[in-house]
Amino acid sequence: MPALWIRNARVIDPASKRDGTGDLFVRDGRLVARLSPAERKRARKIEAKGLVAAPGLVDIHVHFREPGQTHKETIGSGTRAAAAGGFTTVVCMPNTSPPADNAGTIQYILDAVRRDAVVKVLPTGCITIGMKGETLAPIGSLKRAGVVAITDDGDCVQSNELMRRAAEYARMFDLPVMDHCQDHSMTEGAVMNEGDVSIRLGLRGWPNAAEDLIVSRNVIISAYTGAHIHMQHISSARSVEIMRRAKADGVRVTAEATPHHIALTDAALSTYDTHFKMNPPLRTEADRQAIIAGLRDGTLDCVATDHAPHTDYEKDKEFDYAPNGILGLETALAVTLDVLVRQNRFRLSHVIDLMTAKPAALLGLPAGTLAEGAAADVCLFDPEETWTYNAKAGASKSSNSPWSGQTLRGRVHATLVDGRIAFALGAS
């Protein structure tokens, strides 16, 4: 593979505290400090004037639906969507069919990744067999098979005793526990946030307390066992405050926020559009502002998409019966830049950190930096370019996005994985 020379970009690498106009050099899939004059002459050159060169984005929460639900998404289509969004490393959830609760299913996923993926995909394994919350999955075998964390994402473990034992085993095998925080006894039949809007729309409400109770439980279990417990897609202001206090006490907990929870509120559901139906649900403006404040002060550690594809015919139902979830990979950067940089005056480098080095460090992944010797995983984007997102023309097999048809600001021009172009704007 010839050497690569990316020229005249604004290079932002929070991990190495680099922010300034410069060049990036790639040899044999790795970033190097310089190329020889002969290598520069032969190198493939990418003119990046006016673009930001950032580490490839890292998403620790995606659903690629393979095996078993490939009518919604596959490893191939999901990773093409990731590349189009600037992501070079993603972590996929185990709620497939069958669930990824054994080494054989993990091997199936890894085989599909080697065959079809255009970005790096790392699997998680289930906490419990079948994600039923009854019996622990073989955590040691899952670790040996290659998982980077365990989670029953979508089916929060309800038993405190079982969650305690899972945390103890996870600590033994040096695996984070990622938890979808939801007390099922409080959300049966619920379809949106409990509050004024749900009353007005006549829809069953989903209280913040269902999340807050499990976040509190996990903080206690983490403090008791010493395990690293990560809270997925935090949506409640009280949960943010619980996390803030836990971190101040030195408890080994982390948390993520999604682009949709920092951009939208339950007011968006006024037309009963199922593209705004998700789990956890969109909440109030006060909750939204609390999540943004949590990202600002480090209470919340990173941004993750919870990319959740569903087909048109699944979403095109009465609101109560449509599945939860939306696409996120192709729009995450633009939405996050708009909310955090333009509306809330975050530094651009801070936002890039939340989408690169921070999530990589959280799971100990070799990603999220442009340091010399690192893999040449690069996202080239124009933070000011406007474009209209068409979900049906996107890379995903599904199109369930609330941003389809909207004009967004901030556009990925190219995504490089190990120095190879995984996505280029305008390429067929």
Amino acid at 133: G
**Options 101, 301, 306, 338, the catalytic residue:** 306
Q: Give exposure, 22-38, as e/b (b: 16+ Cβ within 10 Å).
A: ebbbbbeeebbeebeee
Query: Which two structure tokens, joined as six digits, stand for 333?
Result: 């950067």
Q: How far apart are alpha carbons 21 and 52 in whole angstroms?
A: 9
Query: Which two structure tokens, joined as six digits, stand for 387?
Result: 């474009």
Per-residue DSSP letters for 5-46?
Answer: EEEEEEEEEGGGTEEEEEEEEEETTEEES---HHHHHHSEEE
Q: How far apart are alpha carbons 330 and 86 in whole angstroms?
A: 8
Q: Which residues contact 112 (CB under 8 A, 6 or more apart)?
A: 66, 67, 74, 75
Q: Is 23 a catalytic residue?
A: no
What is the phi/psi pair of residue 336, to 5°? -65, -40
Q: In the beta sheet, which residues pair with residue 30?
A: 27, 375
Query: Which two structure tokens, joined as six digits, stand for 89?
Result: 């490393």
Active site residues: 306
